[in-house]
Amino acid sequence: MRAQPKLRAVSVLSGLAALFMANAATAGETPIYGGPIGGTDIGAAYLPPQPGLYMGAGYIGVTSDDYRDVNGDKVPFDTGFDASAGVVGLNYVYDTKVFGGSIATSAQLGYGRRCIRFGERNCSSGMADIYSDLFFWSKYLGGGEAGSPGLAPLPYGLTVGGGLGVTMPTGSYDKHEPVNTGGNTWIISPNLAVSYLTGPEFSLGGDGTEFSARLFYSMPQKNSDTDFDAGTVVNLDWAITERYGNWQVGLAGQQAKQIDSDKLPDGARTNDSKFSSGSVGPVVSVFLPSIGSQLKVKAAANYDAENTFSGYSLVMIMGWKVF
């Protein structure tokens, strides 16, 4: 039996690419939805096993020259999108149990640059909106195996979680600018998560195969500067990975779909701006016990895009326990 790493701080910044691409926030309003800056992947339902303050820092790069229309077809004119950002996050795990599960509060903040090209290229630099899990609850339901004396066992079996996320309109925004790093929109995102880790006998040759997913129901509020009211979005983040000692490797993906029509400033509803976005790619995470840190690298490419850009992203994240 391998020891479970004591640190799962990458959950502080458990993804970031897809959301950073989606929330381009142009004057014409692009897709808007909530979740940890970029989504979640491995360990979606887990919290760090020890109470205390955890910190993460990361970098994201996104690029695209392919805008798709409402039918998923590439538009017949010059388009492009590129972005890069540095992101930091904090995750505090409380020293208490609620209904037998752990509970935490987290927040993530980024600073970066975004550029959009529709014939003419426009760029903006500044702060991104803050995303916070006001609370996230996680409970291990059982099926675990005993570890060696003095070592924490891997969480074999089922772990479930749920929480309430809020995206706060704290980023840089000007309704007269063609592109912004903030969206000027409150987004309420209740969510549910599940992680299941098989035993070694049912794995792909490692210590266990992990299946993780987190479902968000994002409800953007009205933009007070433009009176634009974006529709509700359902967003599923997932990952299938294999654990090999301190390593975890596999695939991670995201599928977001707008289910309600946007409400225009004149009060009319429109289906013309509904969007869909899906991406998938490899993810690799390694626990570094010598420095008490965890490093994750993730790449993704879009397989689905309607009324949004289809492109590529790269994410690098490092997390550690502060105290």
Q: 9-321 maps to which CATH number? A: 2.40.128.130
pLDDT band at 5 (very low <50, low <70, confident <90, very high): very low
pLDDT band at 10 (very low <50, low <70, confident <90, very high): low
pLDDT band at 18 (very low <50, low <70, confident <90, very high): very low
pLDDT digits (tens, 9 = 90+) for 35-86: 887 568 999 999 998 999 999 999 999 999 999 999 999 999 999 999 999 9
pLDDT digits (tens, 9 = 90+) for 151-165: 346 899 999 999 999
pLDDT at 285 over 70: yes
pLDDT digits (tens, 9 = 90+) for 176-214: 999 999 999 999 999 999 999 999 988 888 999 999 999
Q: What gap in Å lies between CA 208 and CA 94, rounded to an integer?
A: 28
At residue 266, the pLDDT reads 76
pLDDT band at 12 (very low <50, low <70, confident <90, very high): low
Tell me the backbone φ, ψ of residue 226, rounded to 5 degrees: -120, -10
pLDDT band at 8 (very low <50, low <70, confident <90, very high): low
More confident residue, 113 or 5: 113
3-state secondary structure the chain: CCCCCCCCHHHHHCCCHHHHHHCCCCCCCCCCCCCCCCCCECECCCCCCCCEEEEEEEEEEEEECCEECCCCCECCCCEEEEEEEEEEEEEEECCCCECCEEEEEEEEEEEEEEEEEECEEEEEEEECCEEEEEEEEEEEEECCCCCCCCCCCCCCEEEEEEEEEEEECCCCCCCCCCCCCCCCCCEEEEEEEEEEECCHHHCCCCCEEEEEEEEEEEEECCCCCCCCECCCEEEEEEEEEEEECCEEEEEEEEEEEECCCEECCCCCEECCCCCEEEEEEEEEEEEECCCCEEEEEEEEEEEEEECEECCEEEEEEEEEECC
At residue 2, the pLDDT reads 42
At residue 284, the pLDDT reads 96
Average pLDDT over residues 222-250: 93
At residue 202, the pLDDT reads 86
pTM: 0.89
pLDDT band at 145 (very low <50, low <70, confident <90, very high): low
Mean pLDDT of the chain: 87
More confident residue, 13 or 278: 278
Residues above pLDDT 90, as percent of the chain: 72
Domain ranges of the chain: 9-321
